[in-house]
Structure 1
Amino acid sequence: MVQVISCCGVICSNCQYYPNDCKGCPEVKGRVFWLEYTGEEICEIYDCCVNRMKFKHCGKCDSLPCDRYNESDPTKTQEENDNDFIGQLAQLKKMK
């Protein structure tokens, strides 16, 4: 199976919600299902990285990790969010 990786370093294809509830950020262009919990229309990280900065992923940005990474997934515990953050940064370093 081909890995689907979001610009923030999340491996979408490893997520429990992929592909039924979410096709991954590259496909949904940052309009992920969990935004219903935040009230946003588009993920701030995706919007900044892809739409504004025109990067393929955040590993290309000199400001990594920026304050946008301080936000937590409201469907996860703090420990899960912390572990995800560590994994995201590791993935982005590989992609750089």
Structure 2
Amino acid sequence: MDKIISCCGVICSECPYYPTDCKGCPTIKGQVFWLEYTGENICGIYDCCVNSKKLEHCGKCEKLPCDRFNGSDPTKTPAENENDLINQLHQLHSMK
């Protein structure tokens, strides 16, 4: 199976929520299931990158990483969240 990668650098196809709870941002256009917990209609990173800036992914943005990457998953430890961010940034830099 090919990797499905979101504009933020998350490898959707490696996520435990894929494909049951989430089909991946390229398919669902940033309307991820966890938005019900944040009250948003669309992921802020996706909205900025794809809808506003018309970029393929954040790796093409001169402001990477911006404040939109400061969020964290409350179900993970600070170390796990930091590792996730490092992995996302590595993925994005490899896609430039």
- TM-score class, shorter: over 0.9
How does the TM-score come out when normalised to structure 1?
0.95
Percent sequence identity is: 72
The correspondence of residues 1-96 of structure 1 with structure 2, limited to 5 A, is 1-96=1-96
After TM superposition, the score normalised by the length of structure 2 is: 0.95
The runs of 5 or more residues in structure 1 that have no matched partner are none
Considering only aligned residues, what root-mean-square deviation do their CA atoms show, in Å? 0.9
Q: Distance in 2 between matches of 1:64 and 1:88?
A: 11
TM-superposed deviation, 1:37: 1.3
Whole-Å Cα distance in 1 between the matches of residues 36 and 78 of structure 2? 19
Q: What is the CA–CA distance in structure 2 between the aligned matches of 1:75 and 1:26, rounded to whole Å?
A: 24
Shift of 1:44: 0.2
**Offset of 1:75 from its aligned partner?**
3.7
Runs of 4+ in 1 over 6 A off after TM superposition: none
* Separation in structure 2 between the aligned mates of residue 82 and residue 35 of structure 1, nearest angstrom: 21
- In the alignment, residue 65 of structure 2 is paired with which amino acid? P
| Structure 1 residue 24: Cα displacement | 0.4
Contact preservation (8 Å) 1:37, 1:74: no
The structural deviation recorded for 1:73 is 2.4
**What is the aligned length?**
96
**Is the Cα contact below 8 Å between 1:21 and 1:33 reproduced in 2?**
yes
